[in-house]
Structure 1
Amino acid sequence: MDILPIQKTFPAAIAPTPIAPTQCSNLVGFDALRAFAALGVVLLHACVPYLQHPMPGLAWSVTDIRSEAANGFTSSAIDCLFWGIEVFIMPIFLLLAGYFAYQTMSRRGSEQLIKTRAKRLLIPLAFASCVVLPIGLYTWVLAWVAEGTVAAVKLKSLKFDGEIDRDLWGLSHLWFMLYLFLYIVATGITVEIWRRYRDWFPSYLHSLCRSIGNRSLHVCAILFLTASATLLVAPEVVWGFQHAFAPVPSKWLYSGSFFAGGLWIAATDPSFHWLRKRRGVLGIASWMFLATAVTLGRWHLEFSNLATGSDWPASVALAIITVAAAWLMTLWLSTASLSLNRLPVSVQYLAAASFWVYLVHHPLLGLTHLDLKLMMPEVNPAAKTAISFAVSVTVSLLTYEAFVRKTRLGERLGMAWEFPGKEVPSTIPMRTPSETSERRRAA
């Protein structure tokens, strides 16, 4: 099948000039952003047992909450840290994924986009579903047995009642990979349908696409309103956890708005030129909106019933401010990362290992949280958060080095990597950071 450039598959107004190599060659900052965002996910989960306002719908291995009087400022700080990260951490991954998806389509077509992402996402997802999720499941049940929450027989039967059964089963932290692949498939299919059958569509649809494409503000408004309306109807998308094996429609729609935003930025401003000029304003606004969103969100979790929407004015405000904070923080961090021209080898290593850290950190944290609660009951929650974060990241990196970086497993998972400037003694094709980055852009 002949692959046409994406610019020929859409009306000219919404398909600008193809991305030139000079426009997007300096994207090493995105490697750093992805690496530190992965650490942000680990830190987010490290806070879970110590939250003043636990995440509704999230089943965790232990609950280790102490009174505010006993911990003073610490408990509130952990709460703010957790919810602050929760607001913007996944939008960062989704926007970057959409950005690079557009690059792949513009260079290699939608068919290659789906093929490359299927290999990159579905193989690690299958591995983690067969290995990491079962380990995590038994870690959780073991922790509940140790705490006396469930009987020891549950380790064998795995039959639970009530909230435990409702909140336990699903893809856990792996949901992102399934959602992302489905976004890729939906994008590729849409492009192919338009390419093949665009002459069949009525003229007013072509005019509408051109009209929207000529007005970036309209696209921004559509994405913002879509996310805000979704969050208004289902605030648990951010201020809760929706656990399932299949995509949840509200979560799918909310997350998809950020993926679509990444596509749009890659199509209209691939060098982030417009956003870079406004980086200072973005930074100030992002922190202001984030602080407001966290304050209002914690207030809602304590005093309001978000699930029933009993307080509509506050719910509307929370939805709008949360989406604004997520977009502003994501755009600011993205533009700030592009100021980096070179990365230290340590950051390159972390970027190469970030996907593995994301896959395996979950059960490591769950087990560490249980150990800390049993062996160090009087230790400050902030110290426990730091210890669990450090242990989880360290063990994840050690397992990456031992079992993934230069092994067949790593090659199968697409995570093999070699330090720059070193010869590779193995027959496995390794990639330096620059080669990895180039291959990712070409893909």
Structure 2
Amino acid sequence: MTSTRGEKTERMHHWDFSRALYLVLGIPFHAAVIYSLSHEWSVSSPDKSQVLTYFANFIHTFRMPGFFLLAGLFSMMLLDRQGAWSWLKTRFFRLGLPLLSATLLIVPFQIVVQQAALAVNGTVSASDLPGLIRAQLTHFGEPWISHLWFLWVLIAYCVGLAILQALSRGTLRARLDALVDWVAGNRIVSLAAFTALCALAAQVQTLIVAASPYYGNAVVNYNLYVIYFGFGALVYSSRRLNDLLLKPGPAAFVLGAGLVTLSQMPHAGLLMHTAKVMAAIFGALLIVGFISNLAHRHFGQHNTRVRKLVDASFTIYLFHHPVIYVLATLFLLVDLPPVIEFAVIAVLAGFMSYAIHLAVSRSAIATLMFNGVRGKKAPLSEPAPVDTSRPYSVRG
């Protein structure tokens, strides 16, 4: 990422590292949910682990918030440079082409593997497998969205941001900066307003999920991250908020971990539900701030290895998902402790996904298809779209 504030153009390497980190964390997250007690993933092991359940739940509380926060930050940066409609046109190409390519070339393979896993674990008979695969491939449903949901959501968020920029006649950044200053000067009123909005969100979430538990959860999860996307736009627009995000230390991380843990507890009544919503938001921001602090202190300068990770991270995210599908299916045939299987799958998926990135980067056509950029390597100034997390039973 490059900052254009002031007279000097300065690359903020810590945001590059953070963005890549959130993408790559999709590997241990998805490897862990295979054995989760609280999530039913596309390829699940009959052997469950409480440790891996906690691990997956914890990563999920901050990984996608962190990604969407940085997506909002990068989006506001490029929007401020290019103008609403010019920027949105590049977003449609940059995000839409990888979405189309992955939907047509990666998702069908995943669907086949997912149905094969059902036959391997004995859920369906081998004779029924061809019919199940055909039915899944010819009917649109959640498997066709899969881990690509974040691209659909990110495109929608970008459209909304571009509309706001157009309505403000190019003054959106200044207005957001003024909003942060107003909040800082009216903290009690701002906190009361934020609490009221969280209470409203909790009530709406309850109504939506009650109306349709499956699709209701999808709607909630699709719209949940607009909070962090908007916060990222604020971070870019306000130096005050940018500096604040880089301050959280170890104590803030511990507090954030406690808050996100609290947010996952069962609740009764609107008051507790509101408290959980607020705990989830504040907890995620504290953890993301702590990671930002570490990245700023340790990866604030040019680093060749970090650059390679940033270049590879989006391709790794796209392809780690089908790789883990295959590995999870193969491990249905063996009987090892879940933690050992998880470790092997995570390590293998990391190496295999990086190998796929190296192959993709050798082809200008493949780079265009799966990164949305022309040339053999995605430029670092053009942030790769990111999450990871799935919007239904498991999102990430």
TM over 0.5: yes
Q: Residue in 2 aligned with 1:382?
A: 339
Q: Percent identity?
A: 19
- Tell me how far 1:293 sits from its aligned partner: 2.7
Match of 1:125 among 99, 104, 117: 99
- Is 2:319 the partner of 1:360? yes
CA distance in 2, matches of 1:171, 1:398: 25
Q: Residue in 1 aligned with 2:12?
A: 27
Alignment check: 8 A CA contact 2:35 2:47 kept? yes
Query: Any idea what the Cα deviations from partners look like across 1:89-141, whole Å, max 9, x if unmatched?
Result: 01111111111111112211111221221121110000111111111111110
- Is 2:33 the partner of 1:90? no
- Secondary structure of the residue aligned to 1:393 is helix
RMSD of aligned C-alpha atoms? 3.7
Match of 2:276 among 311, 315, 318: 318
- Is 2:155 the partner of 1:148? no
Q: Residue in 2 aligned with 1:78?
A: 52
Query: Any idea what the Cα deviations from partners look like across 1:368-399, whole Å, max 9, x if unmatched?
Result: 11212312x1x221111111111111111111
CA distance in 2, matches of 1:338, 1:225: 34
Match of 1:180 among 150, 154, 167: 154
CA distance in 1, matches of 2:143, 2:112: 12
Instruction: Give the 3 Å change call, closer, same or farther, for CA 343–415 of structure 1 in structure 2.
Output: farther
- Tell me how far 1:349 sits from its aligned partner: 1.4
Instruction: Give the 3 Å change call, closer, same or farther, for CA 231–84 of structure 1 in structure 2.
Output: farther
Q: Residue in 1 aligned with 2:24?
A: 39
Q: Residue in 1 aligned with 2:300?
A: 341
CA distance in 2, matches of 1:372, 1:324: 38
Which AA in structure 2 matches 1:20?
G
Which AA in structure 2 matches 1:389?
A
Instruction: Give the 3 Å change call, closer, same or farther, for CA 401–169 of structure 1 in structure 2.
Output: closer
- Secondary structure of the residue aligned to 1:392 is helix
Q: Residue in 1 aligned with 2:288?
A: 330
Which AA in structure 1 matches 2:300?
N
Instruction: Give the 3 Å change call, closer, same or farther, for CA 269–249 of structure 1 in structure 2.
Output: farther
Alignment check: 8 A CA contact 1:352 1:415 kept? no
Match of 2:221 among 251, 254, 263: 251
Q: Residue in 1 aligned with 2:169?
A: 195
CA distance in 1, matches of 2:95, 2:369: 11
CA distance in 2, matches of 1:142, 1:194: 52
Alignment check: 8 A CA contact 1:272 1:335 kept? no
Q: Residue in 2 aligned with 1:303?
A: none
CA distance in 1, matches of 2:134, 2:272: 39
**Larger relative contact order, structure 1 or 2 (CA cutoff 8 Å, min sep 6):** 2
Moved more, 314-323 or 85-94: 314-323
Residue pairs, 1:204-353, within 5 angstroms: 212=179, 214-217=181-184, 221=191, 226=197, 229-230=200-201, 233-234=204-205, 248-269=218-239, 272-276=242-246, 278-280=247-249, 283-294=250-261, 297=264, 299-300=265-266, 310=268, 312-339=270-297, 340-353=299-312
CA distance in 1, matches of 2:254, 2:244: 20
- Tell me how far 1:79 sits from its aligned partner: 1.9
- Tell me how far 1:86 sits from its aligned partner: 0.5
- Tell me how far 1:214 sits from its aligned partner: 4.1
Alignment check: 8 A CA contact 2:361 2:376 kept? no
Which AA in structure 2 matches 1:373?
L
Query: Any idea what the Cα deviations from partners look like across 1:349-383, whole Å, max 9, x if unmatched?
Result: 121111111111112112211212312x1x22111
- Secondary structure of the residue aligned to 1:50 is coil
Q: Residue in 2 aligned with 1:14?
A: none
Query: Any idea what the Cα deviations from partners look like across 1:170-225, whole Å, max 9, x if unmatched?
Result: 511111111111111111122213329x9xxxxxxxxx999846413479756676
CA distance in 1, matches of 2:117, 2:219: 31
- Secondary structure of the residue aligned to 1:102 is helix
- TM-score of the superposition, structure 2-length normalised? 0.80
Which AA in structure 2 matches 1:356?
T
Q: Residue in 1 aligned with 2:355?
A: 398
CA distance in 2, matches of 1:122, 1:39: 21
Query: Any idea what the Cα deviations from partners look like across 1:280-311, whole Å, max 9, x if unmatched?
Result: 2xx422322323433662x53xxxxxxxx655
CA distance in 1, matches of 2:261, 2:241: 31
- Secondary structure of the residue aligned to 1:195 is coil
Query: Any idea what the Cα deviations from partners look like across 1:8-61, whole Å, max 9, x if unmatched?
Result: xxxxxxxxxx83364x7231112211222122111111001222x322xx4421
Which AA in structure 2 matches 1:326?
A
Instruction: Give the 3 Å change call, closer, same or farther, for CA 396–186 of structure 1 in structure 2.
Output: same
Instruction: Give the 3 Å change call, closer, same or farther, for CA 348–413 of structure 1 in structure 2.
Output: same
Instruction: Give the 3 Å change call, closer, same or farther, for CA 235–333 of structure 1 in structure 2.
Output: farther
CA distance in 2, matches of 1:223, 1:174: 31
List runs of 5+ in structure 2 lacking aligned partners. Answer: 385-396
Match of 1:54 among 38, 44, 47: 38
CA distance in 2, matches of 1:31, 1:262: 14
Alignment check: 8 A CA contact 2:20 2:313 kept? yes
Instruction: Give the 3 Å change call, closer, same or farther, for CA 225–314 of structure 1 in structure 2.
Output: closer
Instruction: Give the 3 Å change call, closer, same or farther, for CA 21–63 of structure 1 in structure 2.
Output: farther
Query: Any idea what the Cα deviations from partners look like across 1:398-432, whole Å, max 9, x if unmatched?
Result: 1111233444211343377xxxxxxxxxxx84458
Query: Any idea what the Cα deviations from partners look like across 1:138-191, whole Å, max 9, x if unmatched?
Result: 111000011111233243344889xxx998545111111111111111111222
User: How many pairs are equivalent?
Assistant: 368
